[in-house]
Amino acid sequence: MKEILKNNKKFYQCQECGLVYADKETAEKCQAWCIEHRSCNLEIIKHAEKNFNF
């Protein structure tokens, strides 16, 4: 999981699928799911930041 600082706020990125989350716990769940299942989980990714631009 990658930590990103944007506008003085921390975000967390799943290193497998690239989705970005505002909280570390959800990003960790996403990454664990991606690694284990080689897919995304809709219940997890619905919490991803929308329109996140680097």
- Over residues 15-50, the pLDDT tens digits come to 999 999 999 999 999 999 999 999 999 999 999 999
Does the pLDDT value for residue 54 go beyond 90? no
Counting the structural domains of the chain, the total is: 1
- Asked if residues 50 and 22 have their Cβ atoms less than 8 Å apart, the reply is no
Answer yes or no: is 18 within a domain. Answer: yes
Give the residue, 13 or 54, on which the prediction is more confident.
13
Q: What range defines the domain where residue 11 resides? A: 2-45
* Domain assignment of residue 51, yes or no: no
Establish if 53 belongs to a structural domain.
no
Domain assignment present for residue 10? The answer is yes
Instruction: Report pLDDT for 37.
Output: 98
pLDDT score, position 53: 87
**Residue 19 placed within a domain:** yes
In a domain? residue 41: yes
Q: Is residue 34 part of a domain?
A: yes
The answer on pLDDT for 1 being more than 90 is yes
* DSSP H helices in 1-54: 24-37, 42-45
